[in-house]
Amino acid sequence: MRRVSRQAVWFTAVTLVVLGAGALHSYVAQSRFDEVKIEAEKVADGIYMLKGAGGNMGVSVGEDGVFLIDDQYGPLSDRIKAAIKELGGGAPAFLLNTHYHGDHTGGNSAFDATTPILAHDNVRARLVAGHQPFGGDPKPAPPEALPDLTYSDTITLHFNGEKVEVVHYPNGHTDGDSVIFFTGSDVVHMGDDMFAGMFPFVDLSAGGSVQGLARNVESILGRIGPETKLIPGHGPVSTKKDLEGYLKMLRETLTIVQKRMDAGQSLEQIKEAGLPEQWDALGQGFIKTDRWLETLYNSLKDNA
């Protein structure tokens, strides 16, 4: 009878643990989407916001077909397609990524190969490089997930009976953000340049800054009217008044942190002092108050 060494037994045990952990991770990653439902909310005639797990999607459905904005995560793609079908649409004629984050681009590979993907130049560059917003090893996107058409400033589509202006706003949420203006319907998809009812995530590792985000929001406010409907990257359908309140928060929290930094306070002291209670409700989302204060501090320090 052949004897098995302790080393062999140890190696086999470790291998099984590693493989088991990998399988568990894959299962957990898949199972977290099991109960997710894709819900459509009408914003204007032919224009809808789709909600699921990740960034809010926008859909224009009409005689020219479907224009889809963002696509959340790959495991949700069949449910997204089914939701679009219920709205009377089919395979998208165009798919646009508002920026590179995985909760907005994770479904790129799952859509028809004949559907061109549009995005800003920097979105493609970051997907190619596999940039990760929270650090870690790069994970380059597969070729089929990469944008086919890119632009540096603006691109205009004439689709479903209206002019659709796609505008790059630099160095806000990231360095590749696009905001989409449906000029006939008076609807704007903000991408993650707007988090409604919560503090935003600003990706400082990808060229974002709170100061730039505030400038971009101010510029967008100058282009819209009191009746404009806004689809935020996260949160409910919003109004110009909501966006004005969002800008007020960005400016006032920037000012608070800047004054504390000028007084020589450390990041820990700034966190300990917190923010006025009027902003408490905004810290109940993904970005807690401590994290928002850290973002403000680092954005001000890096862009002094």
Domain containing residue 274: 33-302
Q: Is there a domain that residue 73 lies in?
A: yes
Q: pLDDT category, 113, cuts 50, 70, 90?
A: confident
Q: What is the DSSP string of 202-242?
A: --GGGT--HHHHHHHHHHHHTT--TT-EEEEEESS-B-HHH
Lateral strand order in the sheet of 117-120: 39-44, 47-51, 57-62, 65-69, 94-96, 117-120, 149-151
Is residue 33 classed as helix, strand or coil in its secondary structure? coil
Q: Which helix (H) or strand (E) holds 290?
A: helix 289-302
Question: Residue 304: what pLDDT?
Answer: 75
The CA-atom distances, in angstroms, between 79 and each of 41, 72, 82, 111, 235 are 15, 11, 5, 12, 20
| Overall pTM > 0.85 | yes
Q: Is there a domain that residue 250 lies in?
A: yes
CA angle 87, 40, 156 (to 5 degrees): 75
- Give per-residue pLDDT as tens, 60-96: 999 999 999 999 999 999 999 999 999 999 999 999 9
Among positive and negative, which fits the CA dihedral 36, 37, 43, 44?
positive
Q: Out of 57-61, 112-116, 185-189, 295-299, which region has the weakest mean confidence (pLDDT)? A: 112-116
Q: Is there a domain that residue 49 lies in?
A: yes
Q: Is there a domain that residue 292 lies in?
A: yes
Instruction: Tell me how many domains the chain contains.
Output: 1
pLDDT exceeds 90 at position 1: no
Q: Is there a domain that residue 23 lies in?
A: no
- Give per-residue pLDDT as tens, 135-156: 889 999 999 999 999 999 999 9
Q: For position 218, which CATH number holds?
A: 3.60.15.10
Q: Is there a domain that residue 196 lies in?
A: yes
Question: Residue 30: what pLDDT?
Answer: 54
Contact status, residue 54 vs residue 106, Cβ threshold 8 Å: yes
Buried b (16+ CB within 10 A) or exposed e, 135-165: eeeeeebeeebbbeebbeeebebebbebebb
Q: Out of 12-26, 27-41, 90-104, 227-241, which region has the weakest mean confidence (pLDDT)? A: 12-26
pLDDT (average), residues 287-302: 97
Q: Is there a domain that residue 22 lies in?
A: no
pLDDT exceeds 70 at position 8: no
- The DSSP 8-state label assigned to residue 302 in this structure reads H
Question: Residue 279: what pLDDT?
Answer: 96
pLDDT exceeds 60 at position 17: no
Amino acid at 278: Q
Q: Is there a domain that residue 61 lies in?
A: yes
